[in-house]
Structure 1
Amino acid sequence: MPVYREKLWPAPWIFIAALLLIPASILVFAPIDLTVGFVVAGVLYAAVVIALLLSTPAVEVGDGMLRAGRAGIELEHLGEAVPFDGAAARTEKGTALDVRAYLLLRGWIHPVVRIPVEDPADPAPYWLVSTRRPKELAAAINGSRRPD
């Protein structure tokens, strides 16, 4: 049973922005046939919404594992997780970012948690994970780690 679980759902404005596909499709297909334009617009918008929903990753802490999207790592290989929000989160995702880090970032979710990897065989020095609840995720990771 997971100690922490969160789906990184797209923000509502993503779906609203995707609505711009509708007039664009209608404009492209209007010279051919207006009905075709409306049908293609509806199909394109539905495809984008379905793709966004199906590709939504989950972040989960439980059973001695941290799972972020498709990746997973045992908690015993992790250091102290640190939550970041606001300007500190922007710095972590920008100038402080190590190119070797494992990233699960979503542009519509600003807070992140930095989780150091203490396994010398792992090429990633840390994981940087987007979350809407950074303090709760960090607490779940830190509270679930096995003591040294």
Structure 2
Amino acid sequence: MQLSASAYEERLTAPRTWWLVCFLTGVSMALILLPFGTLPLLGGLVGGTAAAAVVTSSYGAIRIRVVGDALIAGEAKIPVSALGTPEILNPEEARAWRTHKANPHAFMLLRAYIPTALRIPVTDPSDPTPYVYLSTREPERLAAALESAKTKA
């Protein structure tokens, strides 16, 4: 497997409103510590905001990349030769494949705050995974990068 410049890369960052929630978590911690004085209040504001920001940042740090002849989605590294034709899912179809159509054996990298997705069948007969479901803001571009990587492989 060759590793070269990434043909596609996307970070599934958390929405902006979640960062407001981080600040409000800090405010909540500050209010809880208010009876203990000004210094604990400031510590609660800074500490609560920082802790919530770390959690939000780590949740939104997941990446989807097409590098060389591999799809790298989070911790998974899948050769594009083991993947079928990608199916672009609009918000309604994506919701259906996340819920009642979902297969418990599928690899799903999903973020509910991203409405669109890509579903890619796994064609390797030795792999029990029926398909890969990836939340993505740019499903057309990801599908094109996968098809391009297939033709180069």
TM-score normalised by length of structure 1 = 0.91
Residue type of the partner of 2:96? T
Query: Following the alignment from structure 1 to structure 2, what is the Cα–Cα distance between the partners of residues 53 and 17?
Result: 12
CA apart distance, 1:70: 1.1
Aligned mate of 2:92, from 62, 67, 87:
87
Query: Following the alignment from structure 1 to structure 2, what is the Cα–Cα distance between the partners of residues 111 and 28?
Result: 39
Question: Are residues 1:50 and 2:48 paired?
Answer: no
Within-5 A mapping of 1:30-109: 30-55=34-59, 56-109=61-114
SS of the residue corresponding to residue 19 of structure 1 reads helix
List per-residue Cα deviations over 1:89-137 (Å, max 9, x = no partner): 1111111111111111112211110011111222211110111101111
SS of the residue corresponding to residue 16 of structure 1 reads helix
CA apart distance, 1:33: 2.3
Comparing 111-120 with 19-28, greater Cα deviation is found at 19-28
Aligned length: 148
Query: Following the alignment from structure 1 to structure 2, what is the Cα–Cα distance between the partners of residues 133 and 38?
Result: 41
Identical-residue share of aligned pairs (%): 28
Question: Are residues 1:134 and 2:139 paired?
Answer: yes
TM-score normalised by length of structure 2 = 0.88
Question: Are residues 1:13 and 2:17 paired?
Answer: yes
Comparing 16-25 with 121-130, greater Cα deviation is found at 16-25
Query: Following the alignment from structure 2 to structure 1, what is the Cα–Cα distance between the partners of residues 41 and 128?
Result: 49
Query: Can you give the 5+ residue segments of structure 1 that lack an aligned partner in the other structure?
Result: none
CA apart distance, 1:142: 2.1
Verify the 8 A CA contact 1:75 1:146 in the aligned structure 2. no
Q: Which has the higher helix share?
A: 2
CA apart distance, 1:146: 4.5
CA apart distance, 1:41: 2.0
Residue type of the partner of 2:14? P
Segments ≥4 residues shifted beyond 6 Å: none
Question: Are residues 1:113 and 2:118 paired?
Answer: yes
Query: Following the alignment from structure 1 to structure 2, what is the Cα–Cα distance between the partners of residues 43 and 25?
Result: 8
Verify the 8 A CA contact 1:81 1:138 in the aligned structure 2. yes
Query: Can you give the 5+ residue segments of structure 2 that lack an aligned partner in the other structure?
Result: none
Root-mean-square deviation (Å): 1.8
